[in-house]
Amino acid sequence: MPSLLELQDAPHYSVQMTDGDVMDSIGARLKALRRKRGFNSTKALAEASSGKITEAMLTNIESGRRSDLQVSQLLNIARALDVPPSMLLAPTSRPDAPLDLPNLSADFDGMSAAEFDCWLSATPASFYRPRLAAERNDIATLTTLREFGTLRRELERLQYVFDVYASSGDPDLADGNSELRERIERLRADANRVAEFLATAGIGDLQPDDTFSKVEKHPQHG
């Protein structure tokens, strides 16, 4: 099951039909997104979900006969469509519009689509204003975790470049590995500091030293 963090970097799309009418229900948004993604029928989308959602379920949602979904069903649909869950749950093409989901508590009264999206994705300094200091701290922790993910992706990219340079046999490329090694080490130090901070917040199993130690296996050229 994808986490909210994995969805944080997903692009946002306008959920509108060709006549410009904004979609004001989860069923209408599902139908519009399905077509936008190239699924010409609910059957095609169901088949793309690896059997986790059915054609009948999708048809009922799109027709409005069903609007209260289980979390796993929502995530399976969003994943099959490759869209952020917020695009299904809220009228994000109208950021200031109120939520239109059924059975929400009074705590959601007055929350706009943009606020909901930022709340769901734990986006800091955004449309959503945390109500508690503890909630603000949780958002900061998740933001730091994303920073660690960004550092890890960049380190993996640089490690790949380093390996290519080292195995190329090209002296010009090999000579560039000294500077690249230094850059990797700086990023690895940053990743270590972030991992140590996250450990104090109760998030463990982050070991950038183990993940990126391969750089030490290559002799320095030059």
Pick 4-120's CATH classification: 1.10.260.40, 2.60.260.20, 3.40.50.980, 2.170.190.11: 1.10.260.40
pLDDT the model gives residue 19 = 33
* Integer angstrom CA distances of residue 201 from 6, 124, 130, 148, 196: 20, 17, 19, 14, 9
Domain ranges of the chain: 4-120, 133-217
pLDDT the model gives residue 207 = 66
**pTM of the full predicted structure?**
0.75
**What are the pLDDT tens digits along the chain (222 aa)?**
333 333 334 443 333 333 333 568 999 999 999 999 999 999 999 999 988 899 999 999 999 999 888 999 999 999 999 999 999 999 999 999 999 998 999 999 999 999 999 999 999 999 999 999 999 999 999 999 999 999 999 999 999 988 888 888 787 777 778 888 899 999 999 999 999 999 999 998 876 555 444 444 444 444
pLDDT the model gives residue 216 = 45
* Integer angstrom CA distances of residue 160 from 152, 155, 176: 12, 9, 14
pLDDT the model gives residue 141 = 95
For the record, the structure tokens of 95 come out as 């950021």
Residue found under tokens 């993996």: 156
Q: Following DSSP, what letter does each residue of 136-197 receive, concatenated? A: HHHHHHHHHHHHHHHHHHHHHHHHHHHHHHHHH--HHHHHTHHHHHHHHHHHHHHHHHHHHH
Write b or e for each residue in 154-183: b if 16 or more Cβ atoms lie within 10 A of its Cβ, otherwise e.
Answer: ebeebbeebeebbeeeeeebbebbeebbee
